[in-house]
Amino acid sequence: MLRLKHMVVASSFKAVLCSISPLLSLGFARIISTWGVDYQVHVGEYGVHWNFFFTLAAVSILTSVVRIHPKHCGLVGLLILAGYQIWLSSGLNEYLISHKRSADIITQNKEGIYSILGYWGMFLIGVSLGFYLFVDTSSKGKNRNTQVMQIWVLAASFWILAIIFDSYIERVSRRMCNFAYVMLVFGQNFQRTYIGLLFNNMNFI
């Protein structure tokens, strides 16, 4: 039984490595290419060696290791974002925006590494919303018009939350991927989705 469990874990780990290998390859390829042509990279964005491909790979690993049902992803994502925002407001944000860097790999890539928490929370909330809006069929009477209205409400709500967080908690920051930034991203994406569905519905009229 124990051996079977180890085999399952090993198989899952191998599957995770296979799934993130393209992202890691792209990440290292970007490092090599930018260094090869002496391209100036703004280290304040993700760090000295980090880039967004590594962030995507890290989120993929976390998602594979910590398996959460789509119905519960939203709550877990909110808790992660809330905890991360509290950490940021407690002084982590000053550390991340400072130009001081020591020789260790974490400090060299602090923006990219710490922002993983924000992107992971964003991903989990997105999974939950996508499941509720487009996959879950348990809600009776859900039709296209209802779906469009729900997306409009979500877009407006996320925009309002983004403005509130930006004004009273912390300014929108992509490199920290704070709560305000996550709300802004959701607001923009649901706004685009709403407009697309609206035009699509008009074509059916």
For the segment 155-174, what is each residue's pLDDT rounded down to a tens digit? Answer: 999 999 999 999 999 999 99
C-alpha 197/C-alpha 81 separation (Å) is 29
Tell me what the mean pLDDT of segment 181-196 comes to: 96
Considering the entire predicted model, what is its pTM? 0.88
Q: How far apart are CA 119 and CA 80, in angstroms?
A: 10
Number of domains in the chain: 1
Q: Are 160 and 102 in contact (CB under 8 A)?
A: no
* Of 204 and 100, more confident: 100
The pLDDT assigned to 4 comes to 46
Per-residue pLDDT reduced to its tens digit, 9-55: 556 667 778 889 999 999 999 999 988 887 777 788 889 999 999 99
* Averaged confidence pLDDT in the chain: 88
The two three-digit tokens of residue 24, written as one number: 């890691």
d(CA 153, CA 190): 9
Identify the domain containing residue 73 by its residue range. 2-204
Work out the pLDDT band at 200, boundaries 50, 70, 90: confident
Per-residue b/e over 7-23, b at no fewer than 16 CB within 10 Å? eeeeeeeeebeeebeeb
- From CA 74, how far away is CA 187, in angstroms rounded? 16
CA–CA gap between residue 3 and residue 16 (Å, rounded):
20
pLDDT above 70 (res 71): yes
pLDDT at 2 over 60: no
Position with higher pLDDT, 139 vs 171: 171
pLDDT at 176: 96
Is residue 108 left, alpha or beta, with left meaning phi > 0 and alpha meaning psi from -120 to 50?
A: alpha
Share of the chain above pLDDT 70, in %: 88
Both tokens of residue 70? 């789509």
- Please determine, for residue 3, whether its predicted confidence score (pLDDT) is greater than 70: no
Q: Out of 10-14, 74-78, 105-109, 186-190, which region has the weakest mean confidence (pLDDT)?
A: 10-14
